[in-house]
Amino acid sequence: MPSPFPGMDPYLEGYLWPDVHHRLATQISIQLAPLLAPRYVARIVIRTVMEELRASDSVTVMIPDVEVFAARRAGAAPPLESAEAAGAAIAPAPAVWPQSLTFEAEISSVEIRDVAGGTLVTSIEILSPTNKHGAGWDEYQAKRRRVILAQAHLLEIDLLREGQRPVPRVGSPRAPYYVFLTRAGHPGRAEVWPIQLRDPLPIVPVPLRPPDADAPLNLAKALAAIYDEARYDLSLDYGQPPSPPLEGAEAEWAVELLGKKQT
């Protein structure tokens, strides 16, 4: 069953995102491979970064197993006997100290390399919550600089509404989703595709080495493919608001859209 949304499905931004991220990177590499041969190859690269969970973060987005585990345990057993009924007095903690919670996050990206020398030509980054705040933001900015200084192209796909954008918005329309392209040799400017919730995902260029033309990347086709193969429709409850929730006109439109799909 396809997603009820014409473009990005905001329900995929929740606890399923790590799975979406990995599958999307795989699907992008599969889609590009026949367009790149025999001069280039698409390779998936996975790097592990340490991230600190902040008090304002959604635990179920950053650490998806928490929500699944809680759902399985809910209603599994009757309530336990209270301490008072058991005749035991629980001593309150005399102090409360803050503590940090760090965890490993795996980030998948797609690298286009030339076959002749194995040189990086284009880095395709699918942004995750880890990339968009805190220590993960700093680590990602360092990677952006390395790619750009290496005279490689950088294609960034941001399908998450929360967090910082890798390229500051200057004059372009405000949108929940963006694609940014920084071409090699032009680090001072980025080509931008703002994507509204009602828009289909675009076909964007993947730059190669001159004189080769850009390869087309069909993001709508890639997202539809992973939605079907992963059967996300079996995991998503479209009767509840997505996480993070939509607001204003977008929320009203989504409610109307989902209502029509169910009738």
Q: Which helix (H) or strand (E) holds 42?
A: strand 40-53
Per-chain mean pLDDT for the chain: 87
Helix intervals (H) in the chain: 17-36, 59-62, 65-73, 134-149, 219-230, 248-262
Pair of tokens at residue 236: 């998503």
Question: For residues 130 and 12, which has the higher predicted lDDT (pLDDT)?
Answer: 12
Alpha carbon distances (Å) from 167 to 121, 175, 245: 20, 13, 24
60 against 93, higher pLDDT = 93
Q: What pLDDT score does 62 carry? A: 45
Helix 17-36 vs helix 219-230: crossing angle, to nearest 10: 130
Averaged pLDDT, 149-177: 92
How much is the pLDDT for 98? 73
Provide the pLDDT confidence category of residue 100 given band limits of 50, 70 and 90: low
pLDDT tens figures, 185-202: 999 999 999 999 999 999
221 vs 63 pLDDT, higher one: 221
% the chain with pLDDT above 90: 68
Rounded average pLDDT over 16-42:
97
**Lowest-confidence pick of 6-20, 45-59, 84-98:** 45-59
SS3 239: coil
pLDDT given at position 45: 95
What pLDDT shows up at residue 196? 97
pLDDT at 73 > cutoff 50: no
CB 15 within 8 A of CB 71: no
Neighbours of 41 (CB within 10 A): 17
| Contact criterion met (CB below 8 Å) for 53 and 5 | no
Q: Using one digit for the tens of pLDDT, what is the confidence trace for 41-64?
A: 999 999 877 666 554 444 444 444
Q: Averaged over 153-175, what is the pLDDT?
A: 91
Mean pLDDT to the nearest integer, 64-90: 54
Query: pTM, whole model, 2 decimals?
Result: 0.82
- What are 243-256's pLDDT values in tens digits? 999 999 999 999 99
Tell me the average pLDDT across 2-15. Answer: 96
Please give the pLDDT value at position 106. 80
